[in-house]
A and B are shown apart, each in its own frame.
Chain A
Amino acid sequence: MIYVGQRLLRAILLLAGVSALCFLFTEMAPGSFFDEMRLNPQISPETISALRAHYGLDQPLAVRYGRWMKSALHADFGYSIAYNMPVAPLLWKRTQNTLLLTTTALLLTWFISVPLGVWTANWREGLLDKTVTLASSFVISVPELVIAVAVLAVAVRWRLAPIGGMTSTDFDGLSEWTKLQDLTRHLALPVLILAVCESAVIVRHIRASMVEALDAPYVHAARGFGIRRARLLFRHALSAAANPAISLLGFSLAGLLSGSLLVEVVCGWPGLGPLILEATLSRDLYLVIGGIMFSALFMVGGNLVADVMLLAFDPRIRREGTNAD
């Protein structure tokens, strides 16, 4: 209980810190939302400064932060200049979409990388090991965006799956079953891209820690006792090797939000990514800050899950953990 309380306190402090630094950063960044209007010769500077005043952008930083805090307490999280509406409802719908994409991608990632990692660690220098190492080097070295565009280009040529969006235009008219099919087909490419990019990293970590675990004396001993190989691998070695992998999982949960940002943009997935990226580039301050707060929340949640799993998987930490509390 104390542990949960501590985490909660940390989360609140974190959110306060993030919001304060967000305001500071946005203050430092040059340019404002209305800059694009300056390029339109038909709009006068007076109109632009009137608009700035209208949205309170001419106020000092402290005043704006105070106003924003008040709005955050009302669960509005500020006001989007571009959309002319409170930030929270804008973010909410898209958060759901992002979660759908990222959790699916996460499941697939672990589904791919755990068996592969275990297999390659057990049969080191084998053909599969070499292939996986090479493939993961390739995926890690090429920027995610290039991989995404390449996958989409293949999909365009072979008409494999819808290359963008979350649903077909006539989605509302479909039956429940076809709706699910439609959604799955649209999920295919973004999930594939995310899972491939993420697996390349995770498989490396699982392999490395499995190698370490398999070389540990107690595994040799267990082998000597004649414990079945599969049980040895998945029951003993894997749980010992899980540590960095679980720490990574915490990130995957949180990091997929930022990781999926570019993929969402390229695939036209209606998640937080395109919204936040566009808001950043157009200096729609409160929308950016709101988006960052949302992802900070996920970060806290993801790390909490990871820490709890560390406790659950690693008996040694568990002992220490109970001592500490």
Chain B
Amino acid sequence: MSMLQVSVYRYNPETDSAPYMQEFQVDTQGRDVMVLNVLAMIKEQDSSMAYRRSCREGVCGSDGMNMNGKNGLACITPLSEVVKGGKLTLRPLPGLPVIRDLVVDMALFYKQYERIQPYLQNDTPDPAIERLQSPEDRDKLDGLYECILCACCSTSCPSFWWNPDKFVGPAGLLQSYRFLADSRDTATSERLAELEDPFSVFRCRGIMNCVAVCPKGLNPTRAIGKIREMLLANAT
């Protein structure tokens, strides 16, 4: 038998006065399955276990959670990557209110995303065909547009934990730069003006937790650096 010891954060607001950790034994039959598969096995033991999931292939961003201390997507994290000493500890993404078990309230995270006006703005009339964009200009969006809004980055960021209402956070800033970098967007100065205060961008301390956890291999710290450069260039 190859039982995996899994410790899971539990909290049901209707019945629990405080959260607690619950232990499960899961028989993975020695296979190197994904953490999401382990959660499905746990749910068969205890149907009350709550977690989000959808695509199960790392593109929808539903199942961000904290696995043995590190944020990531349960569906593309094999046990071999996280399990230490036969033990797996699963907690909700840190820093956001918990609704139930591994399900967090992402309202603040989405609010910061909406704040950066995450849509293309172009003040010229739409042409009859597509707007042209050179492959070189399109290349500038690589590493930016692929964000899946899983919140692994922002919830690993101490600056976001402290000021989730004022600091846009790595996910929102990555998307902010995705539109600043788009040759088709004409709202650059308006976008920058919205970010000029001491909190929105400048609370980033460059510790790169966001880069370390991003399941898509994206680099929000670099994007934030680019925004800073643009803000400074604008100010002088």
Same assembly: no
Binding site for B on A (CB under 8 A): none
Q: Identify the B interface with A (CB < 8 A).
A: none
